[in-house]
Amino acid sequence: MKPPPFTYHAPLDLGSALDALAGAGARGKVLAGGQSLIPLMNMRLASPSHVIDINRVPGLDTIEDERGGVRVGALARHSRVERSGPAPLRRALKLVAHPVIRNRGTVVGSLVHADPAAELPAVLAVLGGSVRLASLGGVRDVAAADFFVGPLESDLRAGELAVSAFFPGLPPRSGFAIHELARRHGDYALAGVCAVVTLGDDGRIAAARAACIGVAATPQLVELEGGTPAELARAVQERTDPEGDIHASAAYRRHLVGVLAERAFTDAAREAAQ
């Protein structure tokens, strides 16, 4: 299978990339890792008139500590972030596809692809991160809560390039965990849960957040006050209303959310107590 015809651009700097994107408008797509874009084009599910390959643009492959967290550049590959990124990302990336995919795929590309069954959008959401978008008109930072707007749909506008994503660090006495269930390792999960908990002075969970994977059109974020892992998991389960498909019924997915949420809250609380 081959993609439909398109004009290929290979800019050598950010300004040229933004010029090409501006000229392409809504008919332009950015090529970074290509692990989602190329299959979509080959299957004729995407047919951009212009493909802007940013792999030669310098300065986009960074992983940098910033005040309060870590900023990951648009060309930072999954495999590199898995080795040297922050702990929540390292754990999530072990669940993403297979090593050959992670060697080419990019963290920011996965966020822009906005697949609700993917792990990284949920990680960005539960950590309260953001995506930085650049265009000829300037730069804007979009919070995760506003960035994911639907299945395979983000707030990225025509002419914009996602140049980085910011993942905040965890507050003191906090922990992170991610659990999912897939039919085979590397497949998209039937359901998954990322969790962050913060312990109070008494050692109990004082606040918790969960982002559910594969149960809604976007990563479903649930913010909760204190409770036991079982209580918090029931609250998350009650707020989800997944759809069924050929892989799993709605009732089974909802059951999975409860089981996986309890595991995630338990592990996150254990980490916070260390």
Question: Which pTM value belongs to this model?
Answer: 0.96
Q: Is the pLDDT of residue 148 over 90?
A: yes
Q: Is the pLDDT of residue 215 over 90?
A: yes
> What's the rounded mean pLDDT across residues 130-142?
98
Domain 174-273 sits in CATH at 3.30.390.50
> What's the rounded mean pLDDT across residues 134-140?
98
Q: What is the pLDDT of residue 49?
A: 97
**pLDDT more than 90, % of the chain:** 97
Q: In what side-by-side order are the strands of the sheet with 28-31?
A: 7-9, 50-53, 28-31
Q: What is the pLDDT of residue 14?
A: 98
Q: Domain coordinates of the chain in residue numbers?
A: 7-53, 63-168, 174-273
Tens-digit pLDDT profile for residues 2-44: 899 999 999 999 999 999 999 999 999 999 999 999 999 999 9
Q: What is the pLDDT of residue 2?
A: 86
CATH class entry, domain 63-168: alpha beta
Q: What is the pLDDT of residue 185?
A: 85
**Any idea which fold 7-53 has?**
3.30.43
Q: Which residues contact 138 (CB under 8 A, 6 or more apart)?
A: none
Tens-digit pLDDT profile for residues 175-194: 999 999 999 888 899 999 99
Tens-digit pLDDT profile for residues 62-100: 999 999 999 999 999 999 999 999 999 999 999 999 999
